[in-house]
Structure 1
Amino acid sequence: MAIFGLSDLHLSFRHKVNLYQIDPKQDIEKPMDIFDWNPRYFDLIRDHWVEHVGVSDTVLIPGDISWGLRLSEAVWDFDWIAQLPGNKVLSPGNHCYYAHSKKKVREALPEGMEWIDADWTLVEDYVVVATRGWNLPGDYSFQEQTDRKIYERQVGRLQLALTDARKHHPDRPIICMLHYPPLTKGCTESGFFQLLKEFSVRLCLFGHLHGSSAYDAIQGNIDEVQLCLVACDYLKFAPLDLTQWLYN
């Protein structure tokens, strides 16, 4: 049994589709080739996923799963993911507009899929926590008047998840799922990263960064926390096996 990471799938199916019978002109609401992605990127995801992920494995998906504005639209993307092997743990990203109610999202998910946001779940020997994250103070995109309150709220949500996880499972190592990176070149310290260090988080997965910005991502072992970008296009649409950081 293995644990994988893959975020930013950016799916947009118009209706229920079969894994192997998809016509982009008829079945896709928002094509990703406008962002220079392969027009059939979903086939790349499927093929890599089926090749590497087994039925007993788990894939962690930290955000931007569906372009759906409403849950009634996102369910077709959930259904497509559900056809792939393994268990799936999902958490929100900045484009998950349908995720207003954690309860409703959980009720809409197919079997074998789990949604966490400001809370946690168990995967193998690990406790997995998640929240969305936000723009970091010091980044060029950070606007004090509009971003500060959201940033502080998201830091608080991560603290709630970590505190409760540690209370219930004091001895289990922790994996954290964020959508936004906890550190950037413009912000080399943040409330998110302080919490990761305080709670001795083993591994933090994040997405959100695409194109040239992905290559500026801060990754690797930083103060005993392993940071890992798992954005779909950065990984060439293949789930990343996290074994190298979890079982050594």
Structure 2
Amino acid sequence: MIWTISDLHLSFAQPKPMDIFGPHWREHPERIARSWRERVAPDDWVLIAGDVSWAMKLKDALVDLRWIDGLPGRKVIIRGNHDYWCSRRVNPIRPQLPPSISLLSADAMLIGEAVVCGTRGWTTPDTPGYAPATDEQIYLRELGMLDRSLEHAARLAAGRLPIIVMLHYPPFINRQPSEFARRIAAAGARACIYGHLHRRQDHDHAVNETVDGVSYQLTACDYLGFGPVGVRGL
């Protein structure tokens, strides 16, 4: 079974209570852990689409990652916009991760009868507030990282296995496909999970349906009720 959840926003090393963002966040790690243990088996996979930890440094993030490691299943994570502990240069980080956690960045891996790939994504030119001076370079870099991850996934899938794409930023803006969504569809991916959205109005307008053959799924933990759910579309 392949499960998914994102935006855990953990902070065990230097606690940052999340209920400042609303009472529904109160004691959210305990609620996530309880649901996770009820649903996920040791041989299952859990895909975590970014914003894993508030930590600024890896040594503090490892406290949160070890907490995740103690939960059932094998986990695959990507960076979110708040994962400052995780740089783009992931090779020095990977050997330090707990044993049940793998980190993707512009690449792909086999997870049972599927292939997962991914990158963070970014604010797109069709997003209100996009500023070319500060956003364009990162946006173009993330598109390139998506292309590399999809190419790697296609080689692993060899036309036989479904491809799951992990993004942190939403691939739709005002329910219209961004360039990220267009490239995901063109690559023939089966499913795409993403996070980042926390406001009720964003939840209400998020794309949670199949578009151009790709099953899209918002996985922010507050949207999911603080428990992992199965990846759709496989």
Establish whether TM, by shorter chain, passes 0.5. Answer: yes
Among candidates 143, 147, 156, match of residue 144 of structure 2: 156
Among candidates 157, 170, 181, match of residue 193 of structure 1: 181
TM-score using structure 2 length: 0.94
1:34 partnered with 2:33: no
Q: 1:140 matched to which residue of 2?
A: 128
Q: Structure 1 residue 165: deviation in Å? A: 2.1
TM-score using structure 1 length: 0.89
Q: 1:113 matched to which residue of 2?
A: 101
Indicate conservation of the 8 Å contact 2:110/2:156, yes or no: no
Q: Which moved more, 1:68-77 or 1:212-221?
A: 212-221
1:228 partnered with 2:214: no
Q: 2:226 matched to which residue of 1?
A: 237
Q: 2:33 matched to which residue of 1?
A: 46
4+ aligned runs moved over 2 Å, structure 1: none
Q: Structure 1 residue 104: deviation in Å? A: 2.6
Q: Spell out, residue by residue over 1:85-124, the C-alpha distance to the aligned partner (whole angstroms, 9 max, x if none).
A: 0110011000010111302321221111100110011111
Which amino acid in 1 is paired with 2:97?
Answer: L
Which amino acid in 1 is paired with 2:11?
Answer: S
Q: Spell out, residue by residue over 1:160-200, the C-alpha distance to the aligned partner (whole angstroms, 9 max, x if none).
A: 11112213432221000000011120x72322112111111
Q: Distance in 2 between matches of 1:3 and 1:66?
A: 22
Q: Distance in 2 between matches of 1:32 and 1:64?
A: 13
Q: Spell out, residue by residue over 1:61-101, the C-alpha distance to the aligned partner (whole angstroms, 9 max, x if none).
A: 01000000000110000000011001100110000101113
Q: 1:22 matched to which residue of 2?
A: none
Among candidates 181, 194, 197, match of residue 170 of structure 2: 181
Q: Structure 1 residue 159: deviation in Å? A: 0.3
Q: How many equivalent residue pairs?
A: 230
Q: Which moved more, 1:224-233 or 1:167-176?
A: 167-176
Give the gaps of 5 or more residues in structure 1.
15-27
Q: Structure 1 residue 148: deviation in Å? A: 1.6
Indicate conservation of the 8 Å contact 2:214/2:233, yes or no: no
Q: 1:58 matched to which residue of 2?
A: 45
2:147 is paired with a residue whose SS is helix
Indicate conservation of the 8 Å contact 1:64/1:96, yes or no: yes
Q: Distance in 1 between matches of 2:233 and 2:186?
A: 19
1:148 is paired with a residue whose SS is helix
Which amino acid in 2 is paired with 1:8?
Answer: D
